[in-house]
């Protein structure tokens, strides 16, 4: 049941992020109404009209600013994140930005400070905090089943030996493309959420595919101040995929293969509202992970993934004025690590933070 008048949301960009993630999740959220979408692409404009018939389709960002919605969601190419978010905040409008927030930590910090000065919400869409494997791991850790976590291994690997083209693979630094900032934003955010800031960063960043210009194969090692170590892999050239998670604790370990099913469900057009009470985010038993030590292991039911929780948190923050589900400062911390990873790879050494 709705709580008061829904907050009006304007969405900028209707590529993969806008059409598959933000649009459906906004519409699925009680307390939010997708009232306008900005895209100049004729095919995408038709797609918006078909999928969100009540939303106004706009051609330019300035038109959206003039409409002054309660929230602007920036899901356009990475190079536009900072200028569009800044313009929205300067216009007095709350902002959600798809990851990465910015190309540099300094740019991200400037946005955080601007939002604080204006008393506005600034959040970053780190949806992988609501993956089923991550939620299950947090539950195991909260129950003490793993003991003290010694090493956190996390992977987003793909086998895509052929280039797809587009700005993500252009290699132009202004585009903020490549896997280090794309998939690395998720992996580092999860590691910092679990174990806090690192004191040391080591990374290997490579360009593997023929004709490639942007990094497509990377590894990051973090030594956290609390003692845990995170080993993070992101690759487009993994001919054999490793486990999604392998987490080694002093008492037991947790191993999980396969990706959370929510992205695939959204791409298939599943509605999080109509399926949420039954199967949304649920995973079949054959995909569950295992926990144990040595030969003594058991299956662990995967908790349902819950991407809708992000926008439920946004709706609550707008309504009640509380914290965002992901703070802008969290994204700045991620960018600090990614910048250190870039320096480490370039200089061939570990970087202390």
Question: Is 331 within a domain?
Answer: no
Q: Which residue has the higher pLDDT, 270 or 221?
A: 221
Place of tokens 């995929």: 241
Instruction: Provide the percentage of residues in the chain whose pLDDT is more than 90.
Output: 96
Q: Using alpha carbons, select from 281, 335, 269, 287 the residue that is nearest to residue 308.
A: 281
Q: Using alpha carbons, select from 211, 160, 210 the residue that is nearest to residue 183.
A: 160
pLDDT of residue 128 exceeding 50: yes
Do 149 and 267 belong together in one domain? yes
Q: How confident is the model at residue 248 (pLDDT cuts 50, 70, 90)?
A: very high
Do 66 and 95 belong together in one domain? yes
Q: How confident is the model at residue 275 (pLDDT cuts 50, 70, 90)?
A: low
Q: Using alpha carbons, select from 151, 160, 149, 200 the residue that is nearest to residue 182.
A: 160
Q: Using alpha carbons, select from 251, 248, 256, 221 the residue that is nearest to residue 150.
A: 248
Do 140 and 209 belong together in one domain? yes
The residue range of the domain holding 54 is 7-127+311-323
Do 281 and 152 belong together in one domain? yes
Do 113 and 37 belong together in one domain? yes
Distance CA 287, CA 148 (A): 25
Token representation of residue 238: 């993994």
pLDDT of residue 277 exceeding 80: no
Q: How confident is the model at residue 2 (pLDDT cuts 50, 70, 90)?
A: very low
Give pLDDT tens digits for 61-112. Answer: 999 999 999 999 999 999 999 999 999 999 999 999 999 999 999 999 999 9
Do 191 and 139 belong together in one domain? yes
Count of domains forming the chain: 2
Instruction: Provide the percentage of residues in the chain whose pLDDT is more than 70.
Output: 98
Q: For residue 295, count CB atoms less than 10 angstroms from its CB and return exposed for 0-12, middle for 13-18, buried for 19 or more.
A: exposed
């Amino acid at each position: 049941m709705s709580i008061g008048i829904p907050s009006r949301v304007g969405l900028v960009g209707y590529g993969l992020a806008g059409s598959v993630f933000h649009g459906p999740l906004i519409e699925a959220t009680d307390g939010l109404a997708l009232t306008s979408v900005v895209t100049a692409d004729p095919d995408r404009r038709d797609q918006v009209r078909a999928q969100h018939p009540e939303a106004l389709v706009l051609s330019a960002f300035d038109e959206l600013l003039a409409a002054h919605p309660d929230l602007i969601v920036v899901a356009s190419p990475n190079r536009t994140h900072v200028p569009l978010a800044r313009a929205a905040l300067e216009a007095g409008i709350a902002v959600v930005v798809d990851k990465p927030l910015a190309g540099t930590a300094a740019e991200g910090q400037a946005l955080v400070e601007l939002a604080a000065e204006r008393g506005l919400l600034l959040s970053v869409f780190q949806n992988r905090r609501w993956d089923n494997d991550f939620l299950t791991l947090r539950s195991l850790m909260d129950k003490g089943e793993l003991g003290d976590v010694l090493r956190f291994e996390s992977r987003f690997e793909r086998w895509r030996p052929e280039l797809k083209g587009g700005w993500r693979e252009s290699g132009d630094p202004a585009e903020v493309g490549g896997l280090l900032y794309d998939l690395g934003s998720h992996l580092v955010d999860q590691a910092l959420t679990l174990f806090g800031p690192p004191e040391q960063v080591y990374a290997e960043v490579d360009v593997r595919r023929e004709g490639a210009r942007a990094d497509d194969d990377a590894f990051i090692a973090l030594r956290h101040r609390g003692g845990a170590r995170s080993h993070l892999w992101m690759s487009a050239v993994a001919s054999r995929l490793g486990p999604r998670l392998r987490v080694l604790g002093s008492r037991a370990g947790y191993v999980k293969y396969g990706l959370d099913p929510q992205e695939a469900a959204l791409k298939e057009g599943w509605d999080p509202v109509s399926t949420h009470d039954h199967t949304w985010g649920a995973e079949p038993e054959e995909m569950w992970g295992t926990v144990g030590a040595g030969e003594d292991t058991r299956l662990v039911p995967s908790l349902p993934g819950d991407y809708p929780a992000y926008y439920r948190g946004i709706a609550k923050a707008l309504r009640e004025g509380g914290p965002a589900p992901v703070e802008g400062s969290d994204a700045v911390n991620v960018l600090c690590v990614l910048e250190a990873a870039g320096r480490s790879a370039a200089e061939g050494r570990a970087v202390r933070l």
